[in-house]
Structure 1
């Protein structure tokens, strides 16, 4: 009865079946996720959402919260075996008494009391209480199944073995065969247990990677937000500065032009006065009066005045110069380039220009170009002195190492031959197979061979599935995050692989070439995902 009540309590009121993936609304009622999603979808058109049970309304589509406790109860309920049917003693007629054993020979179930009085002869085979004792007997001879025919894989009675269709077949006792099967099942169970533990470990590992990915995404989002906020602040400050400069120049120009206009107005009035005076003289008919007027030297043409000419005798313009000093405004705006440079340096601590090869580490069959950015495999021995820093294999390391921050550089390799790029500690072995980058625990590499990429660390080679379309790759190091990533510089840029580790020493760039060459090229302003 209690089991039935519990089952009813676990039902979804929408589909009237036991809830699957139960979710809960804010009002506390639980439903199957699929069922409640369908109900809310139908309510989208009206924009009014309500609980199917209590009819509580929500202004917005309610968020669905997983009910983990109810989910656990349901899982336990599903895995709980139903109560086995109680089998009563065949001989207790007056009052039913539960049986403890069943006799296959008598085809009867026995309680403790009747079991003590039961026959102990061999033909009376006892088993757990059962109501289907007929299944324990041979359907042909009606005798107890005691043997197992290994040839026909069948349970048989003694008559089947002696005179029946299994005569002459190899047979074994049921108990012995059962133990063999149990042992086999135990081995399978152990293997399944081991596989389950490995699967659980993989799940935990993936969950940890998921958690780290979420943390990294959160940090990156925070960093980008801070960077964009800083960009907006700098641009706003620059805008205010430029507008302030324009306003200042406009004010100065207005004052200057206002003064000039005032002077010209005075000059215009003076010219008008002189014009009227000359006009009056010209209109006089009496020659004596015209000649008796004061000296008219001040009535000369204003364009001929000495004060209005330059040193070459040319008349000067009324206002010399541009309206606004655009050069100053442009110079102020040029600081926007500094903002952009700061943005790039906020994204990348170091560019490819800082990666130079160390000839002192180059093997004698690796030629390093004068710019220290190209490594070329050569048959000719470079005859460099042998030191503890020099590789014996076809490799070379960078001059500087990185102990913190984010760094990246791009490498272009040849289409022929094979080459590897990556990073290593300075303590990497310099001779033997263990000195190749990636073939030890002190280095990580990307290997190109036969138009295929592979990544290598601690001698574990992982072949990447996709074919390559570009000869250029990008290496990106985030030292604090413990991540070394490789990208193919195609369009768009394609992520190839990311190594995750805890870096404990300075990391140096490293290149391996064989019948090939590789160049660190300066293109740190190219598009980046």
Structure 2
């Protein structure tokens, strides 16, 4: 054994958790060794259970058994190390202020390593050796060094406090049990110590669970903040997009107003330029005639003057400019009309942008919806994936269960909702008639009933190819700019809101507000009659492609 121990190094006897020589070493399934107390505390604090060295995870907490062989080797190594250390400089082991000194040392008091509850003395490494090697002393109870061992003696009987009175909840000696604590519930200190230690372990475990719960709560709060930050960034982005578009519209309208005013001014200037040019031409002609008249008036040639007088005395042909005016263009009302037109444009554009932003928000509540064949009318044909339904004219032989709709050509989704928000989209392309919406669970499935919120139905329909209605009581005729090819259905259970959207146009079709939901809600689909193939296209539950 001594030969083998010489080949072993200190690192082989160190626990990787406490970095000290093994105390009650245990091996875990992956093969690594630790102090029993160290690995127990680690697993009490951390879940899942894993090896601190190789990080192997164990589904169930392994049972721990002390490895006696490694324990004995570690004890021998510790003893050998202690003997080696004791032969080194004793000054390094001298007790410092606050440390427990050895009661046996004379001269310089060395630092005590252990205190003996039987001897009521503390020992340094050297003076502790008999307690580690002598069979009689080995049975003494050693503890970490403590001062004032006399406090562990009964003040009244000067005996060791080695018992615990459960009745009075105090430590007592042997004489106390036959005198002051006679007939009390008294147990050895170790027995109550083990119980209290178990309670402390349980308390520690509960505290660790509380810590873990609070750590999880911190993660939850941080995650909520992250989600909030993402939502805030998206809202800012959407807001900037909306206001940028509105700003561009204002700038375009301003530019158009300026261009209109400038164009009016250009026309006025062009008209004035024409008049001025014509007047300057007449002035030029008049100046020429004036020169000729002056020259003739100074002529001494009687014949020439008389012959030319008739021609030069008559004024040249000119325009009568008396009634000619250049009137400044009228700008009255031009700014007001431009602002009114801008207001109308902005109103339409803002409504469209806000609807687009609203649609983007509700699309975040998208859910996966599939059709429930147990609710389908016997004449309906469902696709294998439960995403399409159409009317088949031929009645199938199906069980008449309580969930099935008959005689109405209706099918519900498998999914139901009793809280929160949900959204899904349905392709209605190439159909001439359809009905979509949500219904409460208790809707009458065996009779025809008026489709209205009073009867637990919130829906819209298409009839006669272009007649859209919201099925309120009475129904509301809807005026749509285009025929929807994809209809989005959004429900906010707590807010009592059911909204329908034209997904491709990013336009709101209709909203039921102020609804009072008290039951589960199911998505409702009615592809309507085949109409000789005219309405043969299916209703298709489409994947949600988030609006850009």
TM-score by length of 1: 0.42
Which one has the largest radius of gyration?
Answer: 2
